[in-house]
Amino acid sequence: AGLKVFMSTDDIAYSYYKEVINPQVRDAEDCKKFEEFLNSEETNVYATFGDPTTARRIINKCSLLPDKSLSFLSKEYGVNNVTKNFVNAIKGYRDSYAIIKADADDMTELARAEIKAERYKGIAKEIVNNNTKGSKRKSDKCAKKLVEDSYEFAHKLAEAINNGYILMSPTYRVALSTAMMLTILRDIKTVEVENHGQIIYAGGDDVVALVSVDRLIDTLVGLET
């Protein structure tokens, strides 16, 4: 209990096929192996079919796509005219899976707060200018000067006591830690819940995962946004 159970690479290759496409089995004697394959908890092409060549032949011959699944898939893939080639490609044999490795830039520097305070001066000016653009009110001009002076003072303080880097506060550490934990949870949801894949490692700033080729693009988009 509580241990992480990793999917086999066959399971990953076929995860979307079994969970979402969910083909029906043609009623024929030599399709029993295919039915066993779909109903098994752990997919194993070699144990079920003997070899990939036999698996490809049986899967292509014995799988049927119900109208409900076909309608859903054609909409998801943006296909208006469902051709025989499209159906064969969707229901066919899977012999590949995708490995995703992503790493955020500059996270080591962020974790150590190795960020030059000078960078925030430009950001502060941009924020103030966007909020007071076109305003002629005296209060806005005073607020703009106050913010700029405050950032200038913070920059000089950082130069004097921390070699120009920002000062790491408890608030900074908590905010960064919370952001990374939320990112980990989001990455797990994207890979395992939404795309039926397998997280190998998720650290907030980087992720390694396995997904079926069917869901590669959607997974990458989900991890990026």
**DSSP labels, 65-91:** --HHHHHHHHHHTT-SS--HHHHHHHH
- Which segments of the chain have a pLDDT < 70? 1-5, 134
The token pair that represents 113 in the structure block: 């707060």
For position 192, what pLDDT does the model report? Answer: 94
For position 1, what pLDDT does the model report? Answer: 47
Q: What pLDDT, in 10s, does the model give residues 47-79?
A: 888 888 999 899 988 998 888 888 888 888 888
For position 4, what pLDDT does the model report? Answer: 64
For residues 218 and 194, is the Cβ–Cβ distance under 8 A? yes
The token pair that represents 83 in the structure block: 């051709």
For position 181, what pLDDT does the model report? Answer: 93
For position 2, what pLDDT does the model report? Answer: 55
Dihedral sign (CA 107, 111, 114, 119): positive
What does pTM read for this prediction?
Answer: 0.71
For position 98, what pLDDT does the model report? Answer: 96
End-to-end CA distance of the chain: 33
Question: Residues in the chain, how many?
Answer: 225
